[in-house]
Amino acid sequence: MEAYRAKEIAESPDMITVSYFGVPVFIERVNVEAGTARIHPIDSPEEEQTVPVDVLNEEFNNDSELPFL
């Protein structure tokens, strides 16, 4: 993931699913210059850690409300 996208997600009021090696995480804040993010697992807010943003993956919901054309 790009640092600027991670920052957008962290600042968004919407819940956007992001994973860190398959684990759903919440992005607390992003250091764009360093290319790092402060994250924690969704179900374990006490387990914060700083990671490179390029290992984060944005998960996309496949359940679209639009019909397949």
Instruction: Record the pTM.
Output: 0.82
- Fold exhibited by the domain 3-58: SH3 type barrels. (2.30.30)
pLDDT at 33: 97
pLDDT band per the 50, 70, 90 thresholds, residue 5: very high
- For tokens 């359940």, the residue is 63
Residue 64 has pLDDT above 70, yes or no: no
Q: CA 46, CA 49: separation in Å to the nearest integer?
A: 9
Best CA proximity match to 10, nearest among 58, 44, 55: 58
In this predicted model, what pLDDT tens digit does every residue of 19-48 receive, in sequence order? 999 999 999 999 999 999 999 999 999 999
The token pair at 54 is 């390029």
| Per-domain boundaries in the chain | 3-58
In this predicted model, what pLDDT tens digit does every residue of 46-60 receive, in sequence order? 999 999 999 999 998
Q: CA 69, CA 59: separation in Å to the nearest integer?
A: 23
